[in-house]
Amino acid sequence: MALSPASVGPVIPEVEMNAGADQGSTTVRATVVQACSVFYDTPATLDKAEKLIAEAAGYGSQLVLFPEVFVGGYPHGSTFGLTIGSRSAKGKEDFRKYHAAAIDVPGPEVSRLAALAGKYKVFLVIGVVERAGYTLYNTVLSFDSLGKYLGKHRKLMPTSLERVFWGFGDGSTIPVYDTPLGKIGAVICWENRMPLIRTAMYAKGVQIYCAPTADALPSWQASMTHIALEGGCFVLTANQFCHRKDFPPPPEYTFGGHEEEPSPETAVCPGGSAIISPSGTVLAGPNYEGEALLTADLDLGEIVRAKFDFDVVGHYARPEVLSLTVKTEPKHAVSFTSTV
C-alpha cells in the first residue's frame, strides 16, 4: 500500500472482544507511524499523535502502531550523567525532566489517547514512558476503536544503559488481545531477541505482532522477518525518525558516545519501520528517509497458510522434550499481610 510523508481504568490482562464480529472479514488495514516525539513536551507530543492518527484513519486504517516510548521520548545519546560509582548533578536534573515528561497509567494522558482511538475509530497501540511513583517503565498501551483502554505491556528487560532509568516489567503484563481485527500483542525492541517471550506470545495466538523499537540497524529487519516466519504472524515494527535538532540544544542536552556533537541535521534515529507478512514478504518499508506513515492490507488468511508449514506451539512443538512456564503473577517489592 501507500507510503506517505507524515503530517505533523484498571489494567486488563486479557480482553475478549470478538463477540458479534464479522468472522468472514479477513483483511485488516494497518498503519505504522514513523515519527519523532516532541522531547520534554508531552502535550505537544499528544497533539502530534492526534494529527498522525487522523491521517492514518483518513487512509481507512483500522490499526495504528506508534514507536517505542513515543509519548515521553527515547533519550537518544543521553548518559544521565552516569559513570561507574558516580552520578552528576546535571544527570540527576536530566532525569527529573524526563520523569516530568512521563505519564501516569491510568491518568489524563491515557484518557486522551483512549478518546483519540474512539474519535478516529482505530485500534491504537502506542509506546509511552510510564511513571509509577519515582520509577519509570518502557510501556506499550493498547486501546480499542470504541475508545476503551485495554491494558499495557511493560518491557521485561531494558537494554544496556536503559536499565539505569527504566524499571523491569514482569509476567503480569504480557497480554494478547482478542479483537475483531484479530489477536493483537506487542513486544518492545530487543525483547524481541528473547526467544521465550516470543514463544509466550505465539502460545497466546498472536496474529498481529507489534514490535515498537528504537533499533534502526539493518539487522533489525532480519529479526522482524524471522519472527514473522517463526510465529506465522504479521509483524508491524515502528521506529522514530529523529534529527539532532529534535532534542534540546547543548549544553542542556548533550549526546554521549560521539567524538563530537552531532550537527542539527544529523539523523540520530533513522527509522526503519516496516510491515512483514507471515511468509516473510515485506509489505511496506523499511523506510529510512524521514517521518512517514506506512500502510498495508493484512490478509489474515495468510496466517493459516503459514501455519500449515510451521506452527511453533502446535504441530511443530515437542512438549515432552521442550516446554515453557510463564509466571504471570505481579511481582511487588513489598507485600503486606494481615492477621485479621
Question: In the CATH hierarchy, which top-level class contains the domain 27-309?
Answer: alpha beta
Using alpha carbons, select from 171, 125, 168, 116 the residue that is nearest to residue 146: 116
| 61-105 tens-digit pLDDT | 999 999 999 999 999 999 898 888 898 999 999 999 999 999 999
Using alpha carbons, select from 230, 234, 232, 268 the residue that is nearest to residue 248: 268
- Interhelix angle 108-120/42-58, rounded to 10 degrees, is 10
Residues whose CB falls within 8 Å of the CB of residue 68, separated by 6 or more in sequence, listed in order: 74, 127, 138, 140, 188, 189, 212, 213, 214, 238, 239, 240
Task: Respond yes or no on whether the N-terminal peptide bond of residue 10 is cis (omega within 30° of 0).
Answer: no
All three cell numbers of 127, joined, read: 509506546
Active-site residue flag, 329: no
Percent of the residues in the chain that have a pLDDT greater than 70, as a whole number: 92
| 127-182 tens-digit pLDDT | 999 999 999 999 999 999 999 999 999 999 999 989 999 999 999 999 999 999 99
pLDDT for residue 256: 80
Who has greater pLDDT, 261 or 149?
Answer: 149
Catalytic, out of 55, 68, 109, 191: 68
All three cell numbers of 223, joined, read: 529479526
Backbone angles phi, psi at 249, to 5 degrees: -75, 160
Backbone angles phi, psi at 66, to 5 degrees: -105, 165
Q: How far apart are CA 311 and CA 304, in angstroms?
A: 9
